[in-house]
Amino acid sequence: MSTKLLFMESFDTYTAHASVVSVSELEDRLDVVLDQTCFYPRGGGQDYDQGVITAGEAVFQVSEVRLDDEGVVHHYGVFESGAFDAGVEVEAAVDQDRRLLNTRLHSAGHLIDMAVDELGYDWVPGKGAHYPHMSNVEYTPVSQKTVERPSSQKRPGAHFSDIDVSSDTSLSEKMHSKHTSGKLGSSKVSSETGGGSWNADDKDTIIADINRLISAYVEAGGTNEIRFMPPEEMGSICRHVPDNLPTNKPARVVVYRGDFGVPCGGTHVKDLSQVGGVTVDRIKKKNGNIRVSYSLNDA
Ligand SMILES: [Zn+2]
């Protein structure tokens, strides 16, 4: 039976009441499975939570959390005191400082998505790494993606990531007019640096543009919203929907600032202002993808 993922239902679920499904002995630690959990398992480039699971005097220190293909969350760790077994009611509590840092790092990656989109680059978001020592987001230029995957080789359901949403005039216009009519108006991109192309000479300009927009987003703030919806409906609110959405998590979109949907199972800030200062340090092309590296100014 899959574990209910409580961290997906709100922005700040740090504690949970749960019952123990199983406690298994591994070589050097234990594996605790609960019926529901607030612990985020590593995934989507975001690191796992740590924390404790307690039942009376029994304290289980969670050092690592993983989600398996069946949607079961495994809390790995050791008992610091006492013990509990299957059937026991427990309280789970994540280390909030660690979670908040991971959440801010993750959300910072989506602020870069927003900036890339507002600047008019036709880059399709790919994988990201949102670790304190290594934070980056990768993009595939649309033109290149099209070349890489001819229509005859498309898998069923692959159509989402291949849609160039900019060809959907109404949505594109709506989104762009929303952006450019806003207070952050000085973001018009020149024809030399826009589009899906990539020119190493533009690197410094792109970095400066993205940094300027991100800091404006954080300054202005804006509330995010969680929406569960089938993947086939995500195109209405998300500019890019990947064709490899995880099947072991509920399908969910987080709408940034009310107008920028991201299909994502990670944890996110509730308000953009919570991300704090972010700096894009580097952009480089790696294996045909554009990698944007960044860091939080206070971490
Ligand atoms: Zn995400």
Q: How far is the CA of 89 from the centre of ligand 1 (A)?
A: 32
Q: How far is the CA of 91 from the centre of ligand 1 (A)?
A: 27
Q: How far is the CA of 210 from the centre of ligand 1 (A)?
A: 18
How would you class 32 by CB atoms within 10 Å of its CB: exposed for 0-12, middle for 13-18, buried for 19 or more? buried
User: Taken in order 7, 72, 109, 261, is the CA torsion positive or negative?
Assistant: negative
| Nearest to 267, CA basis, from 3, 92, 1, 14 | 14
Q: Which residues surround ligand 1, an ion (CB under 5 A)?
A: 264, 266
Distance of CA 164 to the CA centre of its chain: 21
pLDDT band at 201 (very low <50, low <70, confident <90, very high): confident
Geometric angle at alpha carbon 194, from 190 and 200, rounded to 5°: 100
d(CA 131, CA 25): 29
Q: How far is the CA of 264 from the centre of ligand 1 (A)?
A: 5
Geometric angle at alpha carbon 229, from 243 and 99, rounded to 5°: 85
The predicted structure's pLDDT at residue 299: 86
| Domain 4-94: assigned CATH number | 2.40.30.130
Residue 280 has pLDDT above 70, yes or no: yes
Q: How far is the CA of 26 from the centre of ligand 1 (A)?
A: 31
**Token pair belonging to 60:** 């289980």
Return the domain boundaries, the chain.
4-94, 99-296
For 234-273, how does the pLDDT look when each residue is reduced to its tens digit (9 = 90+)?
A: 999 999 998 888 899 999 999 999 999 999 999 999 999 9
Strands (E), 28-114: 30-34, 36-37, 51-55, 58-67, 73-81, 89-94
Residue 281 has pLDDT above 90, yes or no: yes
Nearest-Å Rg of the Cα atoms of the chain is 21
Q: How far is the CA of 93 from the centre of ligand 1 (A)?
A: 22
Specify the 3-state DSSP secondary structure of 35.
coil
> Exposure pattern of 229-254 as b/e (b: 16+ CB <10 Å)?
bebeebbebbbbbbeebeebbebbbb
| Nearest to 53, CA basis, from 20, 28, 22 | 20
Q: How far is the CA of 108 from the centre of ligand 1 (A)?
A: 9
What's the Cα-to-Cα distance from 288 to each of 112, 117, 139, 140, 197, rounded to whole Å?
A: 19, 19, 9, 7, 12
Residue 153 has pLDDT above 70, yes or no: no
Q: How far is the CA of 228 from the centre of ligand 1 (A)?
A: 14
Q: How far is the CA of 227 from the centre of ligand 1 (A)?
A: 14
pLDDT averaged over every residue in the chain: 85
Give the count of beta carbons closer than 10 Å to the beta carbon of residue 204.
10
Q: What is the largest CA-CA distance in the chain?
A: 65
Give the count of beta carbons closer than 10 Å to the beta carbon of residue 257.
17
Are 270 and 200 within 8 A, CB to CB? no
**pTM of this prediction?**
0.82
**Residues 6 or more apart from 271 whose CB is under 8 A from it?**
221, 222, 223, 224
Q: How far is the CA of 148 from the centre of ligand 1 (A)?
A: 24
pLDDT above 70 covers a percentage of the chain that reads 81
The predicted structure's pLDDT at residue 195: 54
Are 105 and 135 within 8 A, CB to CB? yes
Q: How far is the CA of 107 from the centre of ligand 1 (A)?
A: 7
pLDDT greater at residue 241 or residue 287: 241
Q: How far is the CA of 279 from the centre of ligand 1 (A)?
A: 18
Q: Specify the CATH number for 99-296; select among 3.30.980.10, 3.40.50.150, 3.40.140.10, 3.40.50.360.
A: 3.30.980.10
pLDDT greater at residue 242 or residue 214: 214
The predicted structure's pLDDT at residue 183: 37
Q: In what order do the strands lie in the sheet with 225-228?
A: 225-228, 252-256, 260-263
Q: Alpha helix locations (H) across the chain?
A: 96-118, 142-148, 159-162, 169-180, 203-220
